[in-house]
Amino acid sequence: MVGAAGPAAVKITPLGDGRYEVATDAGRTIAYGARRGGQTWVFLRGRVYVVEGNDNQSRRARHHDETAMSAPMPATVVAINVTPGQAVKAGDVLVVLEAMKMELAVTAPQDGRIRDITCRVGELVQPDVPLVAFDEPESSNESR
């Protein structure tokens, strides 16, 4: 296939087994590509680029970055620092996780109040499963 990208034309020739010849006016090189879930991974000149697709999985991944109230990866809960009803400030450490010999902190994305704790110390938790239910300051009295 030929893609027009600015003034320089890029010619991509699949070589099989995930290998692609990339030819431009500037020269040619071998790149590698693989599809994984809703993402396309590309290796080009020592760099990896992850190009998001448009399906549910990639939307969920983006959503996770915004909230950060769940584990970023499968992990074990080592400490829960809050109790239901407690008021917290943005950045407060709510839950401490451990994965691959490292501690990871789950922090409050903004000021608010803890509604419920939905994990236990010692539990192995999966990504994208909420660990803490959280009310924003005014929303607890109002339905919306």
Partner 1 sequence: MAPFKRILIANRGEIAVRVIRACREMAIESVAVYSDADAKSLHVMLADAAVHIGAAAPAASYLSIDAIIQAAQSSGADAIHPGYGFLSENQDFAAACAANSITFIGPPADVIATMGSKVAARELARKAGAPVVPGETPREQTDAAIADAARHVGFPVLLKPSEGGGGIGMKAVRNDSELLSAIGQARREALVAFGDGTLYIERLIDSPRHVEFQILADAHGHIVHLFERECSIQRRHQKVIEETPSTAVTPALRRRMGDAAVAVARAAGYRNAGTIEFLLEGRGDQASFYFLEMNTRLQVEHPITEQVVGVDLVAAQIRVAAGEPVPWIQSELSQRGHAIELRIYAEDPARGYLPQAGLLALYREPRLPGIRIDSGFVEGDEVSVHYDPLIAKLIASGETREAARHRAIAALESFPILGIRTNVGLLLELLQHPRFVSGAIDTRFLDAEAEALRARLITEPPPEALAVAAAVSDTPSSIANDPWSALRDLRL
Picking from 63, 122, 130, the residue whose alpha carbon sits closest to that of residue 94 is 130
Q: Does 107 bind partner 1 (CB under 8 A)?
A: no
Count of CA atoms in the C-beta half-sphere (13 A) of 48 = 6
The stretch near partner 1 (CB under 8 A) out of 45-53, 84-92, 111-119, 129-137 is 45-53
**Which of 56, 60, 74, 84 is close enough to bind partner 1 by CB under 8 A?**
74
Picking from 56, 108, 113, the residue whose alpha carbon sits closest to that of residue 87 is 113
The stretch near partner 1 (CB under 8 A) out of 50-58, 82-90, 108-116, 135-143 is 50-58
- Phi/psi zone of residue 17: left (φ > 0), alpha (ψ -120 to 50 degrees), beta? left
Contacts with partner 1 by CB under 8 A lie at 1, 3, 5-6, 8, 10, 12, 14-18, 20, 22, 24, 31-36, 40-51, 53, 72-75, 78-79, 96, 98-104
